[in-house]
Structures are given as C-alpha cells and as structure tokens.
Structure 1
Amino acid sequence: MRYSKTETYDRKERSQSDKERLRALLNLGLGIFGLSFATGIQGTIYTNFLVEDIGIEAHQLGVLESIREIPGLLTAFILGALLRLAEPFLAGASLILVSLGFGAYYFVRGLPDLIAFSFLWSLGLHCWMPLRSSMILELSEPSSEGKRLGQMNSVGFAAATASMSMVFLASTWLSMSFRSLFLVAASMALLGSLATFMVPGKSQRIEKPRLIIRRKYWLYYGLSLLDGCRRQIFTTFAVLAMVQAFGAPVGHIALLMLFNNIVGFMAASHIGRLVDRIGERSSLLISYGGAIPIFLGYALVPDITILYILYIIDSFLFIFNSIALVTYINDSAPLEDLIPSLAMGQTVNHLAAVTFPIVGGILWSILGYDKTFFMGAFATIILALMALGIPKGRLHKP
C-alpha cells in the first residue's frame, strides 16, 4: 500500500509525536517511581516510628495529621498563583520539598519538630498530586485516560512494593533505625524530582484561571469532600488500630504493605481500563459500596488477621475512586478548567481531612476506637448515595 507525500509526512509526524509522548511518560513514570518508593518507606514505618520512637498518643496523632493536611487546603491557592510556570517544573520542585521533609525526620526530637517537618513534605506532596494527574491526562491518548492513570498507579505500586521489601529486610536483618530509613526515602524523592524535571516543559498554551469554583462541578466537590473523610479516617486510624490496639509489629505492617502493593501493582492498570469501559458512576459505587462493610469490620471484628485482609481489600477498592474521580472531572471540565478544578477538589477534600482526624482521635480517646470506624462507615454511605448522581457510562469531554 502506497501513501502520498502528505500522508507519509502525517504518519511521520504522528510517529514522532508518539515517541515524544512515550518519552515524556517514561520520565514522569520515573518521577512517580521515586516518590512512591519514598512514600512507601514512610507509610510503612510512620506509625511504628510515632508510637515506638516518639511515644505519640491517639489524640496527638489526630492533631498532627490535621496540621499535616493543612497544605491540602491551600493547594488551589498555591497552584493558582504559580500556574504560569511549566507543570513539570512545579512538580519537580514539589518533590524537592518532599525530600527535605522526609530527610528532616532524622532530627526529630518531639511533637513540635514532627509537626514542622510533616508540614514541609506534605506541602510538596499536595502540590504534586494535581500536577501529576494533569500531566498524565495531558499525555494520554483520547479515551485512554483511565488506562494511563492505571498504568502510572501500577508504577507507583511497583515502587512501593520494592520499598516495602527493603523496609522488611532492613528492619528484620539489618536492624536499620527508622531515622536512617527516612534518609533513604528522602534520597528517592530527590531522584524522582530530577526525573520529573526532564519531562518536556511547556509554558501554558492557554490562559488558565487561577482559582475557580463553579456550580456545575458541585458533585465533584461534594465527592471530593467526603472522600477526604473516608480516606483520612482509614489511613490515619486503621494502621494505628492494628499497632496500638492489637500490637502489630513493624515487620508485620511491612509485610501487609508489601502484599497490598503487589495486589495494587497487578490490578491498577486493569482497573483503569475498567473505568474507561464502565464509567465513573459504576466505578465509584464499587469502591464506596465495598468500603462500608470494611469500616464496620474494623469497628466490630477483634481478629487482626481479618483486619489485615480488610485493609488490603480497601486499598484495592480505593484504586477505583482514585482513577474515577480524576476522569470524571477531566470529562466534565474543559482544558482551561482542569488544573484549577483538580486543585480545588483537593482543597475541599482536605476540609474533611483536616477536621476528621481530630474528631476521630477524640472519639477514639473518649468512646473507643470502634466509634471512629462507625463514623467512616456513615460517611461512605453518603458517598455511595452521591455517586448515584453521576450519569451512567463513560462521560465525554466538553
């Protein structure tokens, strides 16, 4: 089959464009790998570090987590002021803040230090998250956004799996201290920032509003708000329950996270394709409907083995809404609204994330840890009802 000169030129242009797209995705994937390796270390040892090294109590953890989530409230305003800069530059700079915060944990002596350094890396991480999603969407082929988001989630899970393995070996065989492991995490976040800087940077092609709140996105804002409640209650208090209430050692937590991330690595890309196929409404109903009995299980079941299993299932289900919420706003908003909308969604998400750790910590201290998880179940029921407001099937970008 022969092609005209014009057709041949177009094919070469498309081929070159595809190569540039894949090269950019590779660099972004390396950035995601570095950060996910770092946060994998942090997530595995964080609770044990707080309990065993610092001696933190549940109510103190609630205060710490609430202050740590404040940067999430500021994301829309921070990124709104910086959107004229290239997204890869902003993302790489964000990972440098993560690296500095993790590295500073080596010097922590008490709660004030912990709050300051946690705020630093949290600021970087919360600026990174909407930029990461926006860059993936921009580099995705049409109607393949869920697929690309799932693939990048798989990269993150692979990195986290590697980091969990390292933590397990380091804590079991090498007797590495928590503080030394935080230095390793800082190094990996720094490497991730270097890779992200190599993603081709662009000045903004269009004039993007710095800050937007639009009535037509109310459902996205509402889902983001309560999703912050669901996420924060589980991520803050599920591991604390296993460590403090049931005495789970760091080796068991590392193995749990390791297996959890293996499952995520194997499932994320398939879940992304499934979101592309069945749409956001069904995907969110799967996630929220499945999370309700998991919260009830943490409130009522006294068997730590079952709690381990429920933790893995919840992390699996969370992949659905982490992808579906992004594709929902991507398909609902025009390009010029995307980053401001993602940032605003993260800001309202953290209205709940700042509030509910304190409420959950108070409930835990006064009434027992089961009441904290009952609150999570109630919030997830409301989320499932709200998800019914999304049209069936995959939406189409305006």
Structure 2
Amino acid sequence: MKNSNRGVNSNCVIKFAAAVIALGISYGIYGTTINNFLSDEFGMNAVQRGHLELPREFPGFLCALMSGALFFLSEAKAAAVASLLISIGMVGLTLTGTSYIKLIIALLFWSAGTHLTQPLVSSIAMQLAEPHSRGSFLGKLRALDAIATVLGGGIVWLAIERLHYNGLFVFSAVASAIAALLFSSMPELTLMHSPRRKFVFDKRYMLFYLLNILFGARKQLFLTFGPWVLIKVFNQQASTFARLWIIAAPLTAIINPRVGRLVDRWGERNVLMLDAAMLIIVCVIYGFASHIPVFGLYLALACYILDQLLFVTGIARATYLRKIAKDESDVAPSLSLGVSLDHAVSMLLPSFAGYIWYHYGHELVFIIAAGLSFLNLITAAVIRCNCKSGS
C-alpha cells in the first residue's frame, strides 16, 4: 500500500488501511448475521424483508445530500463521522427487542454511516494512489477489506453460540468505532483536508450515473433475495453464511488486486461488460437451482460466492469517473451522487420483488435480475474512455 511518488505520509496510509480493516471486520459481522437475525428474531417473510429495504436504503438515497451537509469537514473527518454512525447503528440493533420501530431506527443509523463511508473511502484512496495505478491501488485496498471480512465472518462462526446476536453486534460496533478514531487521527494531506464541494451534477457524468442506477438494481436484488433463497428455500443458518464469507473473502482478496490491474490495462468498458455477462449466468442459476436435484444447494452456494466476487468490479466505475472528471474535487461528491442514484432504485425494487416472490415465486425475481444485468451489459458497451490511467 505504498505510494512514494506523491510523498504521502506513510503514517497516513497505515492509519487509512487500518481503518478500512476495522470497517471490514464490522461489516463482516453484520453481513453474516443480519438476514438470520431478521428471520429468527422478527420472523420475516420475503414480502416483509423486501419492505424493510425501503427505510434501510433511504439514507443511501440521501447520500449526496448527507455528504454535502458535511462539506465543512475534510474527507477524513467525514469518514470518521460516518464510521461512528455505523457504530451507533450496531449498538442500536442490540436494543431492538422485537420492535420494528427500534429496528428501523438502528438500521437508519447503520445505513447512513455505511453509505457515507463508501464514496469517501474510494475518494481518499484515489488521492493516495499514484496517478497511473489507481485501479491497482483500489484493488489492494479492497483486498484488505476482503481479508477483514474473513475475520468478521470467523468471529461469527466461532462465537455465534456463545455471544449470540447481541454480543456480535457489540463487537461490530467496537470495530467501527476504532475506524472512526483512525480516520480522525489521519495527518492532514492536500484535498483530504481541504474544503469540499457540496454537490456536483454534470451532464458529462450521465453514463456514470446510469451505470450506478443499474448497479443499484442488480445489487439490491442479490443482497436482499440471494441470502433469502438460501435461508427460506434451502433452510441455511447463520453459520453457513459465516463459512461462505470465509471462503469468498480470501478469494476476493486475491482477485481484487488483479481486477485493479486489469482495469488499468484492459479498460473499464471491458471489465464492466464481463461483469454483466457473468451476472446473467449467475441470475439464471440462482433462480432455478432449487429445481436441480442433489446439486441445487451447492449451485446456489456457488452463486452466492461468485456474486460476492463480482462486486470487485466496482473499481471500474470509480476509476471511470476519475478519468472523465473535470476536476479532482468533483470525484467525492459525484461518487456520493452515484450512491444516491443507485439507492433511488434500491429503495423501491425490493418491495416489488418481494411481491413477485410471494405471488409468483423466487424464480421470476432472478429472471428480472438477469434482464437488468443484460441492460447493464448494453450500457457498459457504450463507454468510450480512451484516456490513460491516471489522467
């Protein structure tokens, strides 16, 4: 994670990497427990699970506004505030009991923090990266995050019987609080500690916006209903998801730097097209695995892992924006707007998909997801960015 060309203070890089690891551990615990928590403690069905995504994803929709509201803070300090919100949300989950109101409030805090950290971490990383290797640097960063999720999943696997959900949520809260301290203590460097633009909307970024909208649709169907297939159709428990994360995260750590280098060498267009094509295959298998005797469960488990791996191609969207950005100060607010647009879809689609699941079966949900992946393939093919990496 070195960057000698721009004279970046090594202390800053180390603290930044440590903060990313802490957030990864926190999310690893959350991601391997939340669906089983909702099923076990609240007895949710597919329709209720879909409806929950509307309030949970609402902060993501407001990401651009929330980021703009923190314009007076540097990106590092804003990331510290976001990490603290995640910690508050995880503590809130321990206090929900069986109250839906308390659950929604806790998830709102968690969601606000999570959706703020995503564009901020990417923007800070691209500032720390050498101009000609931003994709590679982001790949290494996401590899660290993937390794951290292994640790989070391992904690769940080893401690779920002793700590139960509440103990694990407290552990997650502590990890994100540590990330907040690390971000806030990063030494002051250039744009990270300069005044930030409140909001950016530019016609030249329209294709980036569309890519984020389609990604939001695909992402939410998989994040919401992919695990739901394993839980409701194949009766899998929280320990299964912990094991899957422990398998997927090391693979992600290995693949991330390679995908980053591939983006630098092969270009964003080709990487995003390959991602969309593979997702079409994953959607079809995910939707119809339950109809395949003997091997159906294993195919669904494989799809869960492959879907986790394909998230690494998000590197290409971030570096594409950086290449076409008029000014470096456009990057963070534009990434935040991309998150908002992706969540405009994410808020509404799960309720519709939950209705489809309830009345027509989960197969149709993944047929729709395959159609969205095909639209993503067409959109990625439109990318025309011949500028060299780092320009």
Matched, 1:72 2:60: yes
**Partner Cα separation in structure 1 for residue 190 and residue 71 of structure 2:** 9
| 1:182 aligned onto 2:169 | yes
In structure 1, distance between residues paired with 2:75 and 2:50:
33
Alpha-carbon distance in 1 for matches of 2:281, 2:4: 48
TM-superposed deviation, 1:212 = 2.0
Structure 1 residues 15 and 41 mapped into 2: Cα distance closer, same or farther (>3 Å)? closer
Preserved contact between residue 332 and residue 397 of structure 1 (Cα < 8 Å): no
Could you tell me which residue of structure 1 aligns to residue 156 of structure 2? 167
Q: Give the corresponding residue for 1:10.
A: none
Does residue 105 of structure 1 match 2:93?
yes
- 1:139 lines up with 2:128 in the alignment: yes
Residue 235 of structure 2 corresponds to: 247
Aligned 1:381-396 pairs, distance under 5 A:
381-391=374-384, 395=388
Q: In 2, distance between residues paired with 1:394 and 1:264?
A: 28
Structure-2 separation of matches of 1:62 and 1:220: 27
Q: Residue 376 of structure 1 is aligned with which of 362, 369, 373?
A: 369
The separation in 2 between residues aligned to 1:15 and 1:370, in whole angstroms, is 51
Match of 1:88 among 45, 64, 76: 76
Cα deviation, 1:203-261, whole Å, max 9, x if unaligned, reads 75877542222111110000100100001100111001101111012222211111011
Give the equivalent residue in structure 2 for 1:330: 322
Cα pair 1:277 1:394 within 8 Å, conserved:
no
Cα displacement (A) at 1:310: 1.2
Aligned-pair CA distance for 1:81: 2.7
Once the two structures are superposed, residues 340-370 of structure 1 have per-residue CA deviations (whole angstroms, 9 ceiling, x without a partner) of 2111111111111111111111111111111
What are the superposed Cα offsets for residues 110-149 of structure 1, whole Å, 9 maximum, x if unpaired? Answer: 2221111000111111111111111001111011111111
Aligned-partner Cα distance in 2 for 1:104–1:74: 21
Matched-pair identity in %? 28
Q: For the structure 1 residues 164 and 342, does the alpha-carbon distance in structure 2 shift closer, same or farther, using more than 3 Å as the test? A: same
> What is aligned with 1:349?
342
Q: CA deviation at 1:391?
A: 2.0
The answer as to 2:53 corresponding to 1:60 is no
**In the alignment, which of 223, 228, 232 is matched to residue 220 of structure 2?**
232
2:29 corresponds to 1:41: yes
Aligned mates of 1:53, 1:79 — CA distance in 2: 33
Corresponding residue of 2:202:
214
Change (3 A) 1:332 1:66: same
Q: Distance in 2 between matches of 1:142 and 1:134?
A: 13
Which residue does the alignment assign to 1:360?
Answer: 353
Q: Distance in 2 between matches of 1:143 and 1:65?
A: 38
Aligned to 1:6: none
- Residue 322 of structure 2 aligns to which amino acid in structure 1? N
Give the match's secondary structure for 1:345: helix
- Give the conservation status (yes or no) of the 8 Å contact 1:228–1:349: yes
What is the TM-score with the length of structure 2 in the denominator? 0.93
For residue 78 of structure 1, what is the amino acid of its counterpart? M
Which runs of 5 or more structure 2 residues have no equivalent in the other structure?
291-295
Instruction: Give the root-mean-square deviation of aligned CA atoms.
Output: 1.8
Supply the AA of the counterpart residue of 2:303.
Answer: L
Out of 117, 120, 137, the residue aligned to residue 148 of structure 1 is 137
Runs of 5+ unmatched residues, structure 1 = 1-13
- Name segments (4+ residues, structure 1) moved above 6 Å: none
* Superposed displacement of residue 106, structure 1: 0.8
Question: Which residue in 1 is equivalent to 2:293?
Answer: none
Residues matched between the structures, number: 381
SS in 2 for 1:244: helix
Show CA shifts across 1:48-101 (max 9, x none): 111112211211111211211111111111212322321111101110010010
Alpha-carbon offset, residue 23 of structure 1 = 2.4
Which residue is 2:115 aligned to? 126
Distance across 1 between alignment mates of 2:385 and 2:125: 24
Deviation at 1:16, TM superposition (A): 9.6
Q: Note if contact 2:8-2:128 (Cα within 8 Å) is conserved in structure 1.
A: no
Deviation at 1:176, TM superposition (A): 2.3
C-alpha distance in 1 between matches for 2:150 and 2:168: 15
In the alignment, the residues of structure 2 paired with residue 393 and residue 151 of structure 1 have an alpha-carbon distance, to the nearest angstrom, of 24
